[in-house]
Amino acid sequence: MNKFYITTPIYYVNDKPHLGHAYTTIAADILARYYRKQIGDDNVFLLTGTDEHGVKIAQAAEKAGKLPQDFSDEVSAQFQATWQKLNISNNDFIRTTEFRHEEAVIEILLKLKDAKGPSGQPVLYQGEYEGLYCTGCEAYKTESDLVDGKCPDHPKQKLNHLKEANWFFRLSDFQTDLKKIIESGAFKVEPESRKNEVLSFIHDGLQDIAISRASVDWGIKVPFDQDQTIYVWVDALLNYLSALGIKDNSEKFQKFWPAEVQLLAKDILKFHAIILPALLMALDLPLPKVCFAHGFFTIDGQKMSKSIGNVIDPNELVDTYGSDAARYLIISQFPFGNDGDIKAEEFVKKYNADLANGLGNLVSRVLGMAEKYFSSSVPAGKYTADFDLKSFWQTYDKNFSDLKLYDNIQLIQQLVSWCDNYIDSEKPWELAKNNNDKLSQVLYNLIEIVRHLAYAISPYLPETSDQILKKLNIQSVEENYREIGLVKEGTKLDKGESLFMRK
Ligand code: MSP
Share of the chain above pLDDT 70, in %: 100
Pocket test for ligand 1, best of 19, 21, 235 (most atoms within 8 A of CB): 21
**What is the tens place of the pLDDT at every residue in 423-473?**
999 999 999 999 999 999 999 999 999 999 999 999 999 999 999 999 999
Beta 4-12 vs 261-265: how paired, if at all?
Answer: parallel
Residue 331 DSSP code: H
Per-residue pLDDT for 102 more than 80?
yes
Q: Active site includes 154? A: yes
Beta 212-213 vs 221-222: how paired, if at all?
Answer: unpaired
Band (pLDDT 50/70/90 cuts) for residue 302 is confident
How far is ligand 1, taken at its centre, from the CA of residue 392, in Å?
A: 33
Cβ atoms of 465 and 457 within 8 Å: the answer is yes
37 exposure class (CB count in 10 Å sphere: 0-12, 13-18, 19+): middle
Architecture of the domain whose range is 345-471:
Orthogonal Bundle (1.10)
Mean pLDDT of 179-193: 97
Mean pLDDT of 71-95: 98
Beta strands in 268-376 (DSSP E): 290-294, 297-299, 340-342
Residue 153 has a pLDDT of 86
Residues 6 or more apart in contact with residue 151 via CB below 8 angstroms: 134, 136, 137, 141, 145, 157, 159
Does the C-beta of 52 come closer than 6 Å to ligand 1?
no
378 exposure class (CB count in 10 Å sphere: 0-12, 13-18, 19+): buried
SS3 state of residue 213: strand
- The vertex-106 CA angle with 102 and 108, nearest 5°, equals 115
Residue 300 has a pLDDT of 85
d(CA 481, CA 396): 14
Band (pLDDT 50/70/90 cuts) for residue 301 is confident
Ligand 1 atom closest to the Cα of residue 267 is 17
Domain ranges of the chain: 345-471
Band (pLDDT 50/70/90 cuts) for residue 309 is confident
Q: What are phi and psi of 492, to 5 degrees?
A: -75, 135
**What is the tens place of the pLDDT at every residue in 148-171?**
999 988 888 889 898 999 999 999
Amino acid 395 reads T
> Which residue has the least CA distance to atom 2 on ligand 1?
11
Among 35, 137, 53, residue whose Cα is nearest residue 94: 53
d(CA 230, CA 106): 9
Mean pLDDT of 367-389: 97
Exactly one of 53, 56, 101, 151 is catalytic; which is it?
151
Mean pLDDT of the chain: 96
SS3 state of residue 332: coil
Residue 478 has a pLDDT of 86
Residue 144 has a pLDDT of 86
Residue 236: count of CB within 10 angstroms of its CB: 27
Residue 157 has a pLDDT of 85
Per-residue pLDDT for 307 more than 80?
no
Q: What are phi and psi of 432, to 5 degrees?
A: -60, -25
Cβ atoms of 10 and 246 within 8 Å: the answer is no
Per-residue pLDDT for 305 more than 80?
no
- In total, the chain counts a number of residues equal to 503
Q: Could you give the C-alpha distances from 59 to 44, 53, 151, in angstroms and in order? A: 37, 11, 19
- H or E element that contains 256: helix 251-256
- Name beta bridge partners: 299: 302, 342
Ligand 1 atom closest to the Cα of residue 266 is 17
Q: Active site includes 427? A: no
- H or E element that contains 71: helix 68-85
Is the Cα torsion angle 91, 335, 9, 237 positive or negative in sign? positive
Does the C-beta of 12 come closer than 6 Å to ligand 1?
yes
Mean pLDDT of 36-62: 97
